[in-house]
Structure 1
Amino acid sequence: MKGVLSIQSHVTYGHAGNSAAVFPMQRMGLEVWPIHTVHFSNHTQYNQGWTGKAVAGEAIAEIFDGLEKIGVLENIRAIVTGYLGDASHCDVIANIVKKAKAANPDCLYLCDPVMGDPEKGCIVSDGVAESLVGTLMPMADILVPNQFELTRFAGQDIHSMEDAVVACEKALALGPNLVLAKHLHGVKGDQFSMLMASNQGNYLAQRPHLTFPREPVGVGDMISATFLAGLINGLEAQQALEHCNNAVFGILEETAASNQWELQLIAGQKQFETPSNSFKVAQL
């Protein structure tokens, strides 16, 4: 049995981190084996706060050691990492990726380098961003940053699509084989824009912006998971991007229609298999 190892945060209520990533991949036909980096009651943008704590790096390593003992490593098709609760998690994950790739050289590593959002405030522990830039992001086969994270990694400000292309190309030169900038808020226009770059070319995916009283949390986690699942299922990168863009927009439409803040993954789950939208991806 082959599957995806998903190392991210977990919330008991709602959908963020593994709680936004595991189900879409399962709905797209993949086995998913989650390891939680934090366990919170809910995501961190609630005004009432949240409860829970980060998982110790040793505990993450211990779970992985258990998988190694039962011979799972050669069956890990991909590893996806997201929100990390402590800078020490980066070294643990680097070791996990190395071991998984040694057991299965075809194993993909997708890094979603969650560093926080300057508009929401930094939501990661001290040292996490630096460890991501210095350790995990260069190791990734697939890097899925938002604009802030891409700027931090590439050292390139982004105020236009041309800037975004340059930043992605700089990021590619630092190690990853494919970069998907999942939210280019610095690009002018009334569309939500994602830019994918690889040695095969640059591709732009756009969709309408939806207005919410409070912006849903976990959208980036859902994007990373849905894109990765498409690749594992045999889609070409541009096809996986197109499917991801349409599926995610369908979930957001379902969320808006239900007047909810939390992503409506369950109510809109058919979107992951057969999206109701058909926005096309354009090659730049």
Structure 2
Amino acid sequence: MKGIISIQSHVVFGHAGNSSAVFPLQRMGIEVWPIHTVQFSNHTQYQQGWTGRAFNAEDIAELINGLSNIEQLAQCQAVITGYQGSAEQCRAIIGAVSKVKQHNPNAIYVCDPVMGDPDKGCILAEGITEVLINEVMPIADVIVPNQFELTQFTGIEINSLADAKLACDKALALGPSVVLVKHLHSVSDDKFTMMLATAQGHYVIQRPHLAFSKQPVGVGDLITALFTGAMIQGNDAVSAFEHATNASYGILSMTQQLAQWELQTIAAQNEIVSPSSVYQAVIL
């Protein structure tokens, strides 16, 4: 039974981290083996706060060893990582990816390098950003940063598509073979812009901005899951990029229609497999 290991946060209520990634992958017909780095009552943008805790880095290694003991790592097609609760967890990720690839050299590692959002408040433990930049992102096959995270990784400020192309090229030179930028906020005021970069070229999709009274959380986790799922189902990177864009837009549209700020992933689940929008990638 083949599947994906997803190592990221979990919220009891709402959709963020594994709570945003697992169901969409399952709806695509993919087995998911989630490992939680933290477990919170809700995501961290609630003014009332949240409860819960981070798990020990050793828990990741222990669970990976358990999967190895039942001979399932060879069936792992991809490892996804997102929010990490400590620098030690980041280093445990490196060990987990290495062990999976020992059992299945064809497995891909997809890193969503969550470094926080300056506009929302960067809620990260000390040392995480440095380990992500220097140790984790360079070993990834695919990275899925936002504009801020791409700048942190490459040192290149982004104010235009030309800047974004330059930053993506620098990121590709640092190790990953695919860069999916889940939001380029400096490129357009009236369009939501995403970019894909591979050895074959640079591709952009722009779709309408959707207005919310509070911005939904967990969208990046959703995009990463949709892209990874499409990739391991045999789609090329551009087709996977288009699917991730259109399916996530469908879920966001339903969320807006229902006047919610928690992603309405369950209500919009048909969008995961049959997106109603058809925004296409344009090569630059």
- C-alpha distance in structure 2 between counterparts of 1:25 and 1:129, whole Å: 27
- C-alpha distance in structure 1 between counterparts of 2:66 and 2:162, whole Å: 46
Partner of 1:90: 90
- C-alpha distance in structure 1 between counterparts of 2:261 and 2:202, whole Å: 33
- C-alpha distance in structure 1 between counterparts of 2:203 and 2:161, whole Å: 11
- C-alpha distance in structure 2 between counterparts of 1:53 and 1:257, whole Å: 33
TM-score in terms of structure 1 length: 0.99
Secondary structure of 1:53's counterpart equals strand
Secondary structure of 1:234's counterpart equals coil
Partner of 1:214: 214
1:110-121 superposed matches below 5 A: 110-121=110-121
1:117-128 superposed matches below 5 A: 117-128=117-128
Q: Are positions 1:205 and 2:205 aligned together?
A: yes
Deviation for aligned residue 1:92: 0.7
Q: Which moved more, 1:183-192 or 1:37-46?
A: 183-192
1:52-201 superposed matches below 5 A: 52-201=52-201
Secondary structure of 2:264's counterpart equals coil
The one-letter code matched in structure 2 to 1:66 is: G
Deviation for aligned residue 1:26: 0.7
The one-letter code matched in structure 2 to 1:264 is: Q
- C-alpha distance in structure 1 between counterparts of 2:246 and 2:101, whole Å: 31
- C-alpha distance in structure 1 between counterparts of 2:81 and 2:58, whole Å: 17
Partner of 1:233: 233
Report if aligned partners of 2:60, 2:96 keep a CA contact under 8 Å in 1.
no
Deviation for aligned residue 1:189: 3.7
Deviation for aligned residue 1:272: 0.7
The one-letter code matched in structure 1 to 2:236 is: E
Partner of 2:279: 279
- C-alpha distance in structure 1 between counterparts of 2:62 and 2:103, whole Å: 18
- C-alpha distance in structure 2 between counterparts of 1:215 and 1:111, whole Å: 23
- C-alpha distance in structure 2 between counterparts of 1:253 and 1:73, whole Å: 37
Secondary structure of 1:67's counterpart equals helix
Deviation for aligned residue 1:112: 0.2
Secondary structure of 2:126's counterpart equals coil
Which digits, 9 at most, give the CA deviation of each residue in 1:49-76, with x for residues without a partner? 0000101001121111111111111111
Partner of 1:36: 36
The one-letter code matched in structure 2 to 1:181 is: V
Secondary structure of 2:238's counterpart equals helix
Report if aligned partners of 1:206, 1:245 keep a CA contact under 8 Å in 2.
no
Q: Which moved more, 1:234-243 or 1:6-15?
A: 234-243
Deviation for aligned residue 1:143: 0.5
Deviation for aligned residue 1:188: 2.5
Report if aligned partners of 1:94, 1:136 keep a CA contact under 8 Å in 2.
yes
Q: Identity over aligned residues, as a percent?
A: 56
| Structure 2 unpaired stretches of 5+ | none
Q: Which moved more, 1:198-207 or 1:212-221?
A: 198-207
- C-alpha distance in structure 1 between counterparts of 2:270 and 2:4, whole Å: 21
Q: Are positions 1:2 and 2:2 aligned together?
A: yes
4+ aligned runs moved over 4 Å, structure 1: none
| Structure 1 unpaired stretches of 5+ | none
- C-alpha distance in structure 1 between counterparts of 2:242 and 2:103, whole Å: 31
Report if aligned partners of 1:116, 1:124 keep a CA contact under 8 Å in 2.
yes
Deviation for aligned residue 1:186: 1.1
- C-alpha distance in structure 2 between counterparts of 1:21 and 1:260, whole Å: 19
Secondary structure of 1:5's counterpart equals strand
TM-score in terms of structure 2 length: 0.99
